[in-house]
């Protein structure tokens, strides 16, 4: 059996989307016939729980925690570079003694692939570089395969980084259908979570980063009456505290929840919101948001910012689009969609039917076929 060594420089497990993505990736590759070995740094602040239970994924891959210099408790910026370099070195020496000719090294981490002496390397491009094009041009020549999530980045990579189009696989993000397609009514979900039955509940799940537009969603609350309740599921302790200082009316910040609990929160919603900003390229062009795919599986109506990265995945028949970065327009969209139950039903069904074919297992199979 061929081995796929997947390299991830990040806390594992953790609450971050990249960590969730990694777990799903590993489990699906294993189902596609690979022996999967996940290489991660031995970070001190990783969540001390069983990763397979934490992410609700199959226990079908192995995890190797490699030595790293962890100084994150002192200085995050400097610590990142020290951690990244030492992890890359640890990865290099681990692979030097483990990799066989037919094996594949797969990662979205640039430096471990850059210094790798092996030919069968696969780079999954998550963002697009704003600088150091010389580095990425060399990397693109060095790796054998490149996966890119959306067409905008594919075209930019071919144009700016001189990557050969025949080594590029265009593959959007996907979702764990079984995890999010739970048989639970809105009323049952609210009872489980001890949420009010009589409120119009608007839910956002994920981090509270600025580029995700969460401040725009929170600002829209002031234009809506007390019959609405906004719930934010996720965010660091510091971010939550900062939001609580500014927003305290008709809003609930519940913090991070285990990934397997997120489907229940989404089922409790009347409307799910994806309020990404258009002011940052990572949001407007780079992302292929996992949250959107998870929302679509929940069979709840979605309001989303009208930006290219989201337009590439869905259309007006699947989500209710709103101009980005405008709290007043967002509040009006929420009021309009709440009143139109037929529209809620139609777009949520269209989104659900569209996403049924976008699974992790299918994604892994597509990648495996591309490699072969």
In the chain, the domains with their CATH numbers are 3-174+359-371 (3.40.50.2000), 177-355 (3.40.50.2000)
Task: Please name which of 288, 41, 8 lies closest in space to residue 174, comparing C-alpha atoms.
Answer: 288
Residues 6 or more apart whose CB falls under 8 angstroms from that of 120 comprise: 102, 103, 104, 105, 144
- What distance in Å separates the CA atoms of residue 199 and residue 343, rounded to the nearest whole number? 19
Q: For position 30, what pLDDT does the model report?
A: 97
Burial call 167-206: b when 16+ CB within 10 Å, e when fewer:
ebbebbbbbbbebbbbebebeebbeebebeeebbbbbbbb
Contact by Cβ (8 Å): 70, 81: no
Q: For position 164, what pLDDT does the model report?
A: 92
- What distance in Å separates the CA atoms of residue 183 and residue 43, rounded to the nearest whole number? 37
Q: CA torsion angle for 157, 159, 162, 168 (degrees, to 10)?
A: 40
Would the CA dihedral through 357, 358, 363, 366 be positive or negative?
positive
| One pLDDT digit (tens) per residue for the chain, 372 residues | 899 999 999 999 988 888 989 999 999 999 999 999 999 999 988 888 999 998 889 999 999 999 999 988 777 778 999 999 999 999 999 999 999 999 999 999 999 999 999 999 999 998 888 888 999 999 999 999 999 998 999 999 999 999 999 999 999 888 888 889 999 999 999 999 999 999 999 999 999 999 999 999 999 999 999 999 999 999 988 999 999 999 989 999 999 888 889 999 999 999 999 999 999 988 998 888 889 999 999 999 999 999 999 999 999 999 999 999 999 999 999 999 999 999 999 999 999 999 998 899 999 999 999 999
Q: For position 15, what pLDDT does the model report?
A: 80
Name the token pair of 328.
């007043």
Q: For position 72, what pLDDT does the model report?
A: 81
Q: What does pTM read for this prediction?
A: 0.82
- What distance in Å separates the CA atoms of residue 49 and residue 360, rounded to the nearest whole number? 23
- What distance in Å separates the CA atoms of residue 235 and residue 221, rounded to the nearest whole number? 18
Contact by Cβ (8 Å): 189, 183: no
H/E segment holding residue 147: strand 145-148
List Cα–Cα distances, 321 to 83, 150, 185, 305, 337, in angstroms.
Answer: 40, 19, 25, 6, 11
Q: CA torsion angle for 244, 246, 251, 255 (degrees, to 10)?
A: -30
Contact by Cβ (8 Å): 105, 113: yes
Q: For position 260, what pLDDT does the model report?
A: 85
Name the token pair of 187.
């009323």
- What distance in Å separates the CA atoms of residue 39 and residue 112, rounded to the nearest whole number? 11
Q: For position 173, what pLDDT does the model report?
A: 86
β-pairing, 104-107 vs 121-125, is parallel
């Amino acid at each position: 059996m061929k081995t796929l060594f997947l390299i991830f420089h990040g806390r594992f497990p953790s609450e971050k989307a990249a960590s969730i993505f990694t777990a799903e990736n590993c489990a699906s590759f294993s189902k596609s016939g690979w022996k999967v070995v996940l290489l991660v740094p031995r970070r001190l602040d990783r969540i001390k729980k069983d990763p397979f239970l934490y992410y609700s994924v199959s226990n079908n891959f192995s995890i190797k925690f490699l030595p790293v210099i962890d100084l994150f408790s002192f200085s995050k910026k400097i610590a990142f570079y020290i951690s990244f370099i030492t992890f890359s070195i640890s990865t290099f020496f681990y692979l030097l003694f483990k990799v066989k000719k037919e094996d594949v090294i797969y990662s979205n981490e640039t430096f471990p692939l850059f210094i790798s002496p092996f030919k069968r390397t696969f780079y999954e491009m998550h963002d697009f570089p704003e600088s150091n094009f010389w580095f990425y041009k060399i990397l693109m020549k060095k790796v054998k395969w490149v996966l890119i999530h959306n067409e905008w980045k594919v075209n930019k990579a071919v144009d700016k980084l001189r990557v050969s189009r025949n080594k590029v696989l265009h593959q959007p993000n996907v979702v764990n259908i079984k995890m999010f397609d739970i048989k639970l009514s809105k009323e049952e979900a609210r009872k489980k979570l001890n949420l009010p039955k009589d409120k119009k509940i608007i839910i956002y799940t994920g981090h509270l980063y600025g580029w995700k537009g969460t401040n725009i969603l929170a600002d829209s609350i002031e234009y809506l009456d007390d019959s609405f309740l906004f719930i934010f599921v996720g965010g660091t302790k510091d971010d939550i505290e900062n939001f609580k200082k500014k927003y305290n009316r008709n809003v609930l910040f519940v913090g991070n929840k285990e990934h397997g609990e997120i489907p229940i929160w989404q089922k409790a919603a009347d409307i799910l919101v994806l309020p990404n900003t258009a002011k940052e390229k990572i949001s407007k062009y780079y992302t292929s948001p996992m949250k959107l795919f998870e929302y679509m599986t929940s069979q709840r109506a979605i309001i989303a910012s009208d930006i290219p990265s989201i337009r590439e995945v869905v259309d007006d028949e699947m989500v209710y689009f709103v101009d980005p970065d405008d709290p007043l327009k967002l509040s009006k969209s929420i009021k309009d969609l709440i009143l139109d139950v037929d529209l809620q039903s139609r777009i949520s069904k269209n989104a659900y039917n569209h996403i049924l074919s976008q699974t992790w297992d299918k994604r892994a199979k597509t990648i495996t076929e591309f490699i072969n």
